[in-house]
Amino acid sequence: ETGVTQSPTHLIKTRGQQVTLRCSSQSGHNTVSWYQQALGQGPQFIFQYYREEENGRGNFPPRFSGLQFPNYSSELNVNALELDDSALYLCASSLEGQAYEQYFGPGTRLTVT
Amino acid sequence: DAKTTQPTSMDCAEGRAANLPCNHSTISGNEYVYWYRQIHSQGPQYIIHGLKNNETNEMASLIITEDRKSSTLILPHATLRDTAVYYCIVLTQGGSEKLVFGKGMKLTVNP
């Protein structure tokens, strides 16, 4: 059974640029959630995707957007990057109806300069 | 906002039981208590959850008080690998479950 994987591991971008982060969910999991974790803080919910549709969103601006593909993998896109977007971005997958038990990937460390 | 409060940090000796407290005084009847932990440089890991009865699995035990306003996660024989930030979360099952993490509690297991 393959766990949740994320790419890239690390990324450095300049303010104003756009970034795409990728996530492959655990085998059989059809729900994907994305979280942002600033240094020293707990993860903050960005949004969740289920059956390729957004299924809940946290307090993040529209420049944070996502996609889920038929194979349940997912992308997080952030436009017009700001310095405060520097964080660890975590992807988590779960089974339908069991999004309370989420399996997290190792995260992508994004640095915006 | 997180609905739970935890101490900022705690130390425990290797091989001893680690008892991690959590207060959730505003928990409602249909909310479960979940525990996750995050080892340095990794994503959070699910540990255990419960509604009102005590629960045990291969990782830990969860003791929930009768009034459900607090709970304790017990690691029966802490090892150095249990050093992590532990998050206590309350959540209603069903629908779009989003995990609301607070700052958690840093457990350091000392040799």
Question: Using one digit for the tens of pLDDT, what is the confidence trace for A81-99?
Answer: 999 999 999 999 998 777 7
Nearest to A104 by CA among A32, A44, A21: A32
Q: Is A44 on the interface with B (CB under 8 A)?
A: yes
Per-residue pLDDT tens over the stretch B6-38: 999 999 999 999 999 999 999 988 889 999 999
- φ/ψ bin of A69: left (φ > 0), alpha (ψ from -120 to 50), beta (otherwise): beta
In the predicted structure, residue A40 carries a pLDDT above the cut 80? yes
- pLDDT of residue B95 exceeding 70: no
Residues 6+ apart with CB under 8 A from B43: A4, A90, A92, A104, A105, A106, A107
Beta pairing, strands A5-7 & A103-104: unpaired
Q: What is the pLDDT of residues A41-82, one digit of tens each?
A: 999 999 999 989 998 899 999 999 999 999 999 999 999 999
Which of A4, A24, A31, A100 best tests the B interface by mutation, with the highest count of B CBs <10 A?
A100
- Kindly write down the DSSP assignment for every residue of A48-102, as one continuous string: EEETTEEEEE-S--TTEEEEE-TTS-EEEEE-S--GGG-EEEEEEEE-TT-TTS-
| Residue A32, both tokens | 């994907």
Partners of B99 on chain A (C-beta within 8 Å) are 33, 35, 43, 45, 92, 100, 102
Q: Which residue has the tokens 């300069």?
A: A113
Q: Which of B4, B97, B105 is the mutation pick for testing A, counting most A CBs within 10 A? A: B97
Determine contact: A40 vs chain B, CB below 8 A. Answer: yes
Q: Which residues contact B67 (CB under 8 A, 6 or more apart)?
A: none
Cα distance between residue B44 and residue A74, in whole Å: 19
**Cβ atoms A19, A106 nearer than 8 A:** no
Which one of B93, B99, B103 has the shortest CB-CB distance to A41?
B103
Does the beta carbon of B86 lie under 8 angstroms from any beta carbon of chain A?
no
Residues in chain A, overall count = 113
- The residue assigned the tokens 């091989």 is B15
Q: What is the largest CA-CA distance in chain B?
A: 43
B91 pLDDT tier (thresholds 50, 70, 90): confident
Q: How confident is the model at residue B56 (pLDDT cuts 50, 70, 90)?
A: very high
Could you count the other beta carbons within 10 Å of the beta carbon of residue A111? 12
The reply to whether residue A100 touches residue B102, judged by beta carbons under 8 angstroms, is no
Spatial distance between the Cα atoms of A108 and B94, rounded to a whole number of angstroms: 28
